[in-house]
Amino acid sequence: MHAFVFPGQGSQAVGMGKELAERSAQARAIFDQANAVLGFDLAALCFEGPEDQLTATENAQPAILTVSIAVLETLRAAEGAAGLRPRLVAGHSLGEYSALVAAGSLGFAEALRLVRRRGELMAASNEGTMAAVLGLELAPLAEICASVGEYGPCVVANQNAPGQLVISGATEAVQAAGERAKAAGAKRVMPLNVSAAFHSPLMQAAAAGLAEAVAATPVGDAAIPLIANTTAQPIQSAADIRRELVEQVTAPVRWIGSVETMVDHGVTAVVEIGAGAVLNGLVKRIAPALQRINIASADDIVAAIK
């Protein structure tokens, strides 16, 4: 039983999708559609950069979505791919939008407009910061975050893998929590090069703006369940999906719990669709018995369906 998972922001790289677009009519069609919907040459930005423009939040989010769906559509069209059909989908933060396109809840054009708006809103929320904390588990780190409240909000924003967590919040609070985490035995605390405190209460304004965009967007029930970031539980109804897309802007990404839920539902193989291989690296740490497949290129598709 397969689950398809889709990467989030940070997986972007200049050149992503180029080889696929050269070899796949389905991928070219997706890039052409993205260019038309957005009104600029997203394909050229993905294929050629410049890197600083591709990395900008308002560009990175639609770029990553587009590459993921270009890979997905190429896979769907491949002869012999019928055996690679997901029973569950999930995505890391931004990746939830790709997962919802795969599950039939969102159309690609609608998802693209939403993530462009999401990126703009998140880029405008330039308050706070984030830091990766390695070598400390969730419960003690959550206590540390709660202990620095006098400096402002601080939360465990990304529960990526055991001993691989990310904190987010007011800059002074994150710095204080990082120092206390090191004192409590964390191996490393690394400030992240981000424009704001994503997945924290400081993103309330972005969530409110996104709520307006989501309310104006057609959203359907998902044909297969999505493991939601905010709860690590499966959802399918349009109402639950709308709520999830808004709440995940300020809520933690519960990736550890999401993978554990996949295992509980009988998943035996996780297929990462899109640029990079970050998520399967996390899956290996959370549930090493799961088979892991990465599909980012035409050659990957050939290898996966042999």
Please pick, among 11, 24, 68, 93, the residue that the annotation labels catalytic: 93
Q: What are the DSSP E strand ranges found in the chain?
A: 2-6, 86-91, 129-134, 154-161, 164-169, 188-191, 226-227, 234-235, 269-273, 291-295
The rounded distance, in Å, linking the Cα atoms of 272 and 155 is 27
**Omega before residue 50 within 30° of 0, cis:** yes
Q: How do 234-235 and 226-227 pair as beta strands?
A: antiparallel
DSSP string, 52-121: HHHHSHHHHHHHHHHHHHHHHHHHHHSTTGGG--EEEEEESTTHHHHHHHHTTSS-HHHHHHHHHHHHHH
11 is a catalytic site residue: no
Nearest to 98 by CA among 78, 87, 114, 85: 114
Surface-to-core class of residue 306, CB atoms within 10 Å of its CB (0-12 exposed, 13-18 middle, 19+ buried): exposed
The rounded distance, in Å, linking the Cα atoms of 266 and 205 is 38
199 is a catalytic site residue: yes
Please pick, among 168, 199, 200, 258, the residue that the annotation labels catalytic: 199
Cα distances (angstroms) measured from residue 125 to each of 45, 116, 174, 195: 24, 14, 17, 8
Q: Quick count: other Cβ atoms within 10 Å of Cβ 7?
A: 27
Catalytic residue positions, numbered: 93, 199
